[in-house]
Amino acid sequence: MKQPPRLSLVIRPEEFFHELVTEALGNRKVRPQPETEFYLVRLLSRFMNTDSLYRRDGEGHVRDEPLVLMLQEAFEEDAPGVQSTLFRQVGDVSLYTAGYFQDSLARKLVDVDYYIDMGGKAYRQAAARVEERPLQSLYEELAEKFAAFVDVLAEISDKTSSRKEVDLLRQYELWVRTRSERAAKALQEAGILPNPSVKKGLQ
């Protein structure tokens, strides 16, 4: 199997991520509009520095806020332009966290379905608060296909991380919660066939 180039040797991160995004979209059979595909590339490039995941206060200090508080702040903002930006930020953080750090969420109080729910809502709210039709279309697609894009980013995370084994129990729990095609494939490759009669979201 062809291995992607080492990230440390990449001069232009967007070129590196474009190749990975295109391949992952093809593998997941997701066909977004070109603007959305480019948005995913830019998202990965921007969050190469994980400090970008956090907002800062007026003095430049990092604000590590729960998503629900970020969403509340966005709803309470009066200016539509600022509102759309705040909602977009919630969507971006949710998408990147749910995809790129999916496995680490098993050790947290909130799970991947929480980020999928919050992120989809945030992008939908962002779409409702912009006048430019291209941006509306972009945010609407990000909201509509949020879970699929999470799978795309998770596949890229698999290829760029040093993880050597799959936590099958975690994959099964993820499949039960979200019916993730990626999780189902991981289970199938390990010889486990998910039972479609199991109710989605069952604990």
Residue 61 backbone zone (phi > 0: left; psi -120 to 50: alpha; other: beta): beta
Asked if 196 and 156 sit in the same domain, the reply is: no
Asked if 154 and 193 sit in the same domain, the reply is: no
On the question of pLDDT at 89 being above 80, the answer is yes
On the question of pLDDT at 2 being above 80, the answer is no
On the question of pLDDT at 6 being above 60, the answer is no
- Which residue range is the domain that position 179 belongs to? 165-203
| Size (the chain), residues | 203
Asked if 193 and 144 sit in the same domain, the reply is: no
The pTM for the full model equals 0.73
Per DSSP, the residues of 126-179 read HHHT---HHHHHHHHHHHHTHHHHHHHHHHHHHHHS---S--HHHHHHHHHHH-
pLDDT in tens, 119-152: 999 999 999 999 999 999 999 999 999 999 999 9
Asked if 175 and 145 sit in the same domain, the reply is: no
Whole-angstrom CA distances from 6 to 11, 18, 45, 162 are 11, 14, 14, 12
Question: By mean pLDDT, which of 20-34, 35-49, 106-120 is the weakest?
Answer: 106-120
Whole-angstrom CA distances from 93 to 25, 44, 90 are 20, 11, 5
On the question of pLDDT at 197 being above 80, the answer is no
The per-residue pLDDT for 124 is 97
Asked if 97 and 182 sit in the same domain, the reply is: no
User: Residue 121 falls within a domain, yes or no?
Assistant: yes
Beta carbons within 10 angstroms of residue 11's beta carbon: 6
pLDDT in tens, 159-187: 876 544 446 666 777 787 788 888 888 77
Hey, is 55 helix, strand or coil?
strand
Asked if 127 and 105 sit in the same domain, the reply is: yes
Asked if 179 and 146 sit in the same domain, the reply is: no
The count of structural domains within the chain is 2
User: Residue 3 falls within a domain, yes or no?
Assistant: no
